[in-house]
Amino acid sequence: MEKPQLSFAQIWKLSFGFLGIQFGWGLQMANMSPIYERLGAKESELGLLWIAAPLTGLLVQPIVGHFSDRTWNSLGRRKPYFLVGALLSTLALIAMPNSGALWMAVGLLWILDASINVTMEPFRAFVADMLPEKQRALGFSVQTVLIGIGAVVSSSLPFFLTNVFGVSSQAGTGQIPDSVRLAFYIGAAVLFACVLVTILTTQEYPPEDQGDFERMKESTAGLAGNLREITGAIAAMPQRMKQLAWVQMFTWGGLFCMWTYFSPAVARHVFGATDPKSELYTAGTDWGGVCFSVYNGVALAMAFLLIGLVRKISPKTLHSVGLICGAVGLLSVLVIKNKYALFASMTGVGIAWACILALPYAMLAGALPEEKMGTYMGVFNFFIVIPQVVVALGSGWLVQHLFQGQSVYALALGGGLMALAALLVRRVDYTHIPS
């Protein structure tokens, strides 16, 4: 089917749910390590405790993508998954800050990550479904703008609730501060409302031939048929997808180093805190959240630039340059002792983040068969989550033994991985189509 070009407003609405999804992710990225430490976790255990995020993505996204390819009902193809995932994510965000023990927070993170993945995975395929080839880079760039807005606000929300609205950031042993608790409640409401906007304002295209669609569903019915279809898709991955897989592996390994260790590294390396229960440590981790807000703010500004740049410059070139900026940003934290100088580091990370969220998908979508878009987008997530699992399993040992407890060196490792990813982008076989 020849898809019509959509207006900018239509592209904005079909991606709007990502604003809410990123609100949930942003709260998690900035606050889960401090929450774990307040509930008794050691710094060397953080990587393993974070393993819920990549493992749930590894399991959930290809399954949801596959079944969303084969769904059609009154809501549409992808939207039923948006709705179910948003409901579950909202409940998990409300429950998380009420965790009274470490095991409870860990369990709720598994639930939260699984739920957000149910919502998020079909959104990637949704943009590809709804837009013609020459508008896809624009569509993913708009998605990145909305992700940036959600991340900026959510990452710094506890800081602003404390410093602007006077909400308490103090907490006793084994307790989560009121500022963090309220931020998660606000995030739950924002996530559900934003996803609902996309559901209510966007109409999906039905299958071109309903008979062929039903026959496809019947041919893969049952567990064996569905597994055969997913494994067959993996075996038949397009060449461009294989090349982008290596880029994603090193990119997301580097990002996971940052998400896991940035806030503790700021508290210890920049603020000089040693006790996770001290006010100085809380100030350091809150500043880590502000830094996350800065890199997401830069990503937001960069995403607006990408909307224009992708019309003229190849996503391949833009992505390579962006990843170099991110690598330099993470490596620079090694020599920084002033908290405001971290904003320069986060500028580099923000440029990289904007590119990471849009450009690999823009390069990938045109190489995928339309009828398996959801399945392949889910499989592509393998190359996001596998490196995170590796980092989660191995980084604790590295921090404790090789880095002698200095988590700032885990950030430098992340910078090195991102630099390798930048080099691998140059191998991707992609021809730019100017719009």
CATH number at residue 228: 1.20.1250.20
Q: How many CA atoms lie within 13 A of 239 on its CB side?
A: 4
pLDDT in tens, 43-68: 777 777 877 767 777 778 778 877 88
Q: Is the pLDDT of residue 8 over 70?
A: yes
CA dihedral over 385, 321, 408, 264, signed as positive or negative? negative
Q: How many CA atoms lie within 13 A of 312 on its CB side?
A: 4
Which residue type, as a one-letter code, is found at position 151?
A: A
Asked if residue 241 belongs to a domain, the reply is yes
pLDDT in tens, 242-297: 999 999 999 999 998 998 888 888 888 888 877 777 778 878 887 887 888 888 88
Residues sharing a CB contact under 8 Å with residue 191, sequence separation 6 or more, in sequence order: 20, 21, 23, 24, 86, 89, 90, 93
> What's the pLDDT band for 326 if we cut at 50, 70, 90?
very high
Of the candidates 350, 357, 349, 341, which has an alpha carbon nearest to the alpha carbon of residue 287? 341
Q: Is the pLDDT of residue 321 over 60?
A: yes
Q: Which residue has the higher pLDDT, 57 or 75?
A: 75
Average pLDDT for 319-346: 93
Helix H or strand E segment including 124 = helix 102-130
Asked if residue 174 belongs to a domain, the reply is yes
CA 116 to chain centre: 10
Q: Can you give the pLDDT at residue 275?
A: 75
Asked if residue 14 belongs to a domain, the reply is yes
Tell me the percentage of the chain whose pLDDT exceeds 90.
Answer: 26
For 301, other C-beta atoms within 10 Å of its C-beta total 16
Q: Can you give the pLDDT at residue 191?
A: 95
Q: Can you give the pLDDT at residue 63?
A: 80
Both structure tokens of 387: 């490196």
Tell me the percentage of the chain whose pLDDT exceeds 70.
Answer: 93
Query: 34 near 279, Cβ under 8 Å?
Result: no
Q: Is the pLDDT of residue 90 over 80?
A: yes
Q: Is the pLDDT of residue 222 over 70?
A: no
Asked if residue 3 belongs to a domain, the reply is no
**Which domain, by its residues, includes 70?**
8-201+216-425
By the 10 Å C-beta count (0-12 exposed, 13-18 middle, 19+ buried), 212 is classed as: exposed
Asked if residue 396 belongs to a domain, the reply is yes
Q: How many domains does the chain have?
A: 1
Q: Can you give the pLDDT at residue 75?
A: 85
pLDDT in tens, 286-301: 788 788 888 888 988 8
Average pLDDT for 372-383: 81
Query: 148 near 303, Cβ under 8 Å?
Result: yes
